[in-house]
Structure 1
Amino acid sequence: MFNKSKKDQEAKELFPVVEGNLSDYGFQGQKAQEEILLHLQQHPMTIYKLGLALVGSALIVVATFALAGASVYSSIPLGIYVVIGGYYAFRAWYLWHGSHYILTTERVISVDQKGFFHRAVSEAPLDKIQNVSYEIEGPYQTFLDYGIVRILTAGQKDADVEFRFVHHPYDVQQEITDASHTYGNVVVEAQELENKKNYVS
């Protein structure tokens, strides 16, 4: 069902945040026979609030220069803005760039970069996935078609893995569901076959 070259092309068309070919991408802990079906990052719009804040601050600085003129005193707000604004802009980019969501032929993996020294990683095997849902909230997410995909495994009340603010959440949900049915059943059948062999021997 999942043709590798076909999946690469579909990923480029459906998920513009995917860079390059999936076959060229790898991650730490990837198994020898494990193939990547999807590699996603958060929608760039997730940092729009920071962008608005930086633009607003820049307008204040420009207004200060326009009213007070260029001087030592009026240059102080500009220096403060550049330092603080630069820090928050870099931090937002770092968190966005460090967060990845991966679907493979064996599992789903969520890597959330929460700070410069704080990273949360969670995963769930495909054969344990019980339910996949998604949520789109608010006008921005609705208009730009991004949201949260929640993956629930057997025996859990809350989502074990979340793909946060990814583009086309419905398509991502369907991809994960199809993969869990296809590859999850393969894993279960392989385990049952192995158990039968052990029982016979």
Structure 2
Amino acid sequence: MTDQNKHHARRNVEDYSEVMKNEKSTNNFFRTFISKPKNIHLDIQNKDEKIILVLRQHLITQLKSFLFLCMIILLIPILLNFSGFIETFPDKFIGAFYIFWIVLTFGLFTRTFLIWFFNVYIITDERIIDVDFASMIYHNISYAKIENIEDVTARTTGPLAAIFNYGTILIQTAGEKTEFEFGNVPQPAKVTKLISELLLEEEKEKIEGRVN
């Protein structure tokens, strides 16, 4: 059986996944749980490989970083003003300092947003993919075939995770990278069930001879 025939033999995910059967397709890439996206394509994506789910960390998990940035951004200028230290410098220097502080603030918020936005976990009908974004010039992509997955567990820790329904998915594989961690993703029970359904479908394909 050729590779092309193998891909054509794959069923639509709605035919075997209870999770995806109840999920609507969305193209809103700012969401943290993006099911069956139509306008997302990866450079490493195979010709007939379909992206089923894109995940990123739950927004509530970014609250700590946001509050910390706000505290630093507001606290330092306030302390400088109350201490009178900044008044010892010329007005031009003070103006330049505040301009620098605004630019720095914008840069910190932008960096925090980009790291959250581009660090994504992707599940296709063939693989799980972990995109680790560190900066605009460096990112790392790890992936494992569905058939190499050996164990999937979900871990929810703390009251916030229980209230807002997010957790960490731990995946063990027999591939080159043996452990994957999808950190603080929404609806962890759905994600683990979906991966289990994909794994079961992979086994059925082998038994029925739809793929080698």
Above 0.5 in TM-score? yes
Which residue among 7, 13, 22 is the counterpart of 2:37?
22
Q: TM-score, structure 2 length as denominator?
A: 0.71
Please state how far the C-alpha of 1:21 moved relative to its aligned partner: 5.5
1:13-63 Cα shifts (integer Å, max 9, x gaps)? xx9424586133221121222112111122223332321122213432357
Q: Unpaired segments of 5 or more residues in structure 2?
A: 1-11
Please state how far the C-alpha of 1:148 moved relative to its aligned partner: 1.5
2:127 counterpart of 1:107: yes
**Aligned match of 2:204:** 185
Q: TM-score, structure 1 length as denominator?
A: 0.74
Q: Unpaired segments of 5 or more residues in structure 1?
A: 195-201
Q: Comparing both structures, which one devotes a greater share of its residues to helix? A: 1
Question: Is the Cα contact below 8 Å between 1:130 and 1:154 reproduced in 2?
Answer: yes
Relative contact order: is structure 1 or structure 2 higher (C-alpha 8 Å, sep ≥ 6)?
2
Code of the aligned partner of 2:61 = T
The share of aligned pairs that are identical, in percent, is 23
Distance (whole Å) between structure 1 residues aligned to residue 101 and residue 110 of structure 2: 14
Code of the aligned partner of 1:52 = L
**Aligned match of 1:37:** 52
1:95-129 Cα shifts (integer Å, max 9, x gaps)? 11211211111111111112343322111111111
> Aligned-residue CA RMSD in angstroms?
3.5
> Number of aligned pairs?
190
1:109-124 aligned at under 5 Å gives the runs 109-124=129-144
2:64 counterpart of 1:49: yes
**Aligned match of 1:199:** none
**Aligned match of 2:187:** 168
1:91-106 aligned at under 5 Å gives the runs 91-106=111-126
